[in-house]
Chain A
Amino acid sequence: MLDDFMTRATLAGIGVAIAAAPLGCFVVWRRMAYFGDATAHAAILGVALSLAFQMSVFLGALVVALIMALAVTLLSGRGYAMDTLLGVMAHSSLAFGLVAVSFLSGIRIDLMAYLFGDILSVSRTDLVVIWGGAALVVALIVWRWSQLLTATLNEELAYATGFDPKREQLILTLSLAVTVAVAIKVVGVLLIAAMLIIPAAAARSLARSPETMALIAAAIGAFSAVAGLRSAYVFDTPAGPSIVCVAAVLFAGFSLTGWRSRSGV
Chain B
Amino acid sequence: MTLITVEKLSVRYGANTVLQNVDMAIEAGEIVTIVGPNGSGKTSLLRAIIGATNPSAGHVSRKPGLKIGYVPQKLHVDPTLPISVARFMRLTHRVSKDDCAAALAAAGVPDLLKRQMSQLSGGQFQRVLLARALINRPDILLLDEATQGLDQRGSASFYQQIEAVRQETGCAILMISHELHVVMSASDRVICLNGHVCCEGSPAVVASAPEYRALFGTGTGGALALYRHEHDHNHDHSHEAAE
Contacts and interface: CB of A to CB of B under 8 A. Distances in A.
Instruction: Sort A-B residue pairs by CB-CB distance and give the 8 closest, nearest first.
Output: A160-B70, A159-B52, A160-B50, A161-B92, A29-B81, A159-B50, A207-B82, A154-B75
Contacts of B116: 208
Interface in A133-177: 146, 149-150, 152-157, 159-162
25 contacts: A29-B78, A29-B81, A31-B78, A146-B92, A149-B91, A150-B91, A150-B92, A152-B81, A153-B75, A154-B75, A154-B76, A155-B52, A156-B47, A156-B52, A157-B70, A157-B72, A157-B75, A157-B91, A159-B50, A159-B51, A160-B68, A160-B70, A160-B142, A208-B116, A210-B81
A33 to B, nearest CB: 10
Given A156-B50, A159-B51, A210 B92 contact: no
Interface string B63-88: 00000111010011110111110010
Interface of A: 28-31, 146, 149-150, 152-157, 159-162, 200-201, 204, 207-210, 212-213
A201 B80 contact: yes
- Dominant SS at the B interface? loop
Contacts of A30: 78
Contacts of A208: 82, 84, 116
A209 B52 contact: no
A200 B50 CA distance: 33
A155 B73 CA distance: 11
Contacts of B52: 155-156, 159-160
B144 interface: yes
A162 B68 CA distance: 9
Nearest to B49: A160
Nearest to B142: A160
A55 B27 CA distance: 61
Contacts of A162: 51
A213 B82 contact: yes
A40 to B, nearest CB: 20
A31 B70 CA distance: 24
A209 B80 contact: no
